[in-house]
């Protein structure tokens, strides 16, 4: 007969059973909790559920994953945005598929603006007072550029989107890429340097500054004063396509034109070759019709003169009759 298991041996849990037990222990220990912090990476799924990260408001590296289901999200009376400071009420739970601690949020209310958003507003106000965002500074983009520059990361999906859009719409337009990281501490000086390089080389007619979407922290390089001033100082008209349609950066305000996405920036920077050719065909037709009418009228008059010259005997007979 097999030996009986030792009484001192630890209990062997299944993964799902252990996570369930941890979740039950959290619920029993903490119950409903309230926690304050800054929103980061806020997104609303098509289902209506909201997912985001709550960062520590004092600048510590601590973060907490949060889920706010549709029923609770429908009760929100404001639009949450990254960097905003909020107070959440909910219950701690374990998301079993990933074994992650998360807060299931039952309510959310604003609790003042977060540190990053406060920096954004202060810098925006100062640069706006200097006139960097004035409408009078905005320049029209060249209607038919020969070359378009792109400032972004070589590894960014935004670069692929821009190149695909330009190849589809305007394959005749030359594209020059000025690579620079678009995220992290090295991004602001690199982006400013890339914009300055494009200005110094003067080989493109329009400059696109772009990257894909992300949280407020991900896009923060485009709120850096060095990047904003580089865009404002660029002698080349700049189209800024950073993030998604709802993302707004200070680079957008400094650019000559803001695009909601990188793809839209490419579409604004270069007109469609097909549409341009159709317009040329229509203009050619408008010029051809009056020219044809004029030529036809002259041809009729020439025919009349030719008929008169073709019968000189009739002219002589008429002359004799008058004598």
pLDDT in tens, 286-313: 777 777 777 777 777 776 767 666 566 6
Q: Confidence band (pLDDT; 50, 70, 90) for 12? A: confident
DSSP β-ladder status, 174-179 and 206-211: unpaired
pLDDT at 3 (0 to 100):
54
Strand partners, 95: 100
Tens of pLDDT, residue by residue over 81-114, are 888 889 999 999 888 888 889 999 999 998 865 6
- pTM for the complete prediction? 0.63
Backbone φ, ψ for residue 80 (5° rounding): -65, 145
> Who has greater pLDDT, 114 or 58?
58
CB atoms within 10 A of CB 174: 14
Q: Which residue do the tokens 């036809």 mark?
A: 296
Superfamily for 135-271? Answer: Hypothetical protein af1403; domain 2 (3.40.50.10550)
Q: In what order do the strands lie in the sheet with 206-211?
A: 174-179, 147-152, 206-211, 238-242, 257-258
Q: Residue 279 above 70 pLDDT?
A: no
Backbone φ, ψ for residue 216 (5° rounding): -60, -40
Q: Residue 1 above 60 pLDDT?
A: no
Name the CATH topology of 16-113. Answer: OB fold (Dihydrolipoamide Acetyltransferase, E2P) (2.40.50)
Pairwise CA distance, residues 192 & 194, whole Å:
6
Pairwise CA distance, residues 229 & 250, whole Å:
10
SS3 assignment, position 243? coil
Tens of pLDDT, residue by residue over 256-278, are 999 999 999 999 998 866 666 55
Closest CA to 185 of 240, 227, 155: 227
Q: Residue 20 above 90 pLDDT?
A: no
Closest CA to 276 of 177, 172, 183: 172
- CATH 3.40.50.10550 location in the chain: 135-271
Lowest-confidence segment of 12-21, 139-148, 218-227 by average pLDDT: 12-21
- CATH 2.40.50.140 location in the chain: 16-113
Lowest-confidence segment of 31-40, 215-224, 302-311 by average pLDDT: 302-311
Q: Confidence band (pLDDT; 50, 70, 90) for 161? A: very high
Half-sphere exposure of 110 (CA within 13 A, CB side): 11
Q: Confidence band (pLDDT; 50, 70, 90) for 218? A: confident
Q: Residue 285 above 80 pLDDT?
A: no
């Amino acid at each position: 007969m097999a030996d009986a298991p030792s009484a001192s041996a630890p209990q062997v849990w299944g993964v799902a059973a252990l996570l369930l037990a941890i979740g039950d222990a959290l619920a029993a220990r903490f119950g409903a909790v309230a926690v304050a912090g800054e929103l980061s990476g806020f997104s609303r799924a098509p289902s209506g559920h909201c997912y985001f990260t709550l960062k520590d408001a004092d600048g510590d590296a601590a973060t907490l994953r949060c889920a706010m289901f549709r029923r609770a999200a429908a009760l929100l009376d404001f639009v949450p945005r990254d960097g905003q400071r909020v107070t959440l009420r909910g219950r701690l739970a374990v998301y079993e598929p990933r074994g992650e601690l998360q807060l299931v949020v039952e309510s959310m209310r604003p609790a003042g603006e977060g540190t990053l958003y406060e920096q954004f507003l202060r810098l925006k106000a100062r640069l706006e007072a200097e006139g960097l965002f004035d409408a009078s500074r905005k320049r029209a983009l060249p209607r038919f550029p020969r070359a378009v520059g792109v400032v972004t990361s070589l590894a960014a999906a935004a670069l692929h989107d821009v190149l695909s859009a330009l190849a589809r719409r305007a394959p005749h337009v030359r594209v020059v890429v000025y690579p620079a990281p678009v995220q992290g501490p090295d991004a602001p000086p690199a982006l400013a340097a890339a914009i300055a390089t494009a200005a110094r080389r003067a080989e493109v007619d329009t400059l696109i500054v772009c990257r894909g979407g992300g949280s407020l922290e991900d896009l923060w390089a485009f709120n850096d004063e060095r990047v904003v001033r580089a865009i404002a100082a660029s002698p080349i008209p700049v189209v800024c396509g950073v993030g998604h349609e709802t993302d707004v950066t200070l680079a957008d305000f400094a650019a000559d034109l803001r695009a909601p996405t990188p793809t839209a920036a490419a579409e604004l920077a270069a007109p469609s070759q097909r549409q341009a050719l159709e317009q040329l065909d229509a203009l050619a037709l408008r010029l051809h019709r009056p020219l044809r009418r004029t030529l036809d009228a002259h041809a009729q008059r020439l025919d009349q003169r030719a008929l008169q010259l073709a019968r000189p005997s009739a002219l002589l007979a008429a002359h004799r009759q008058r004598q």
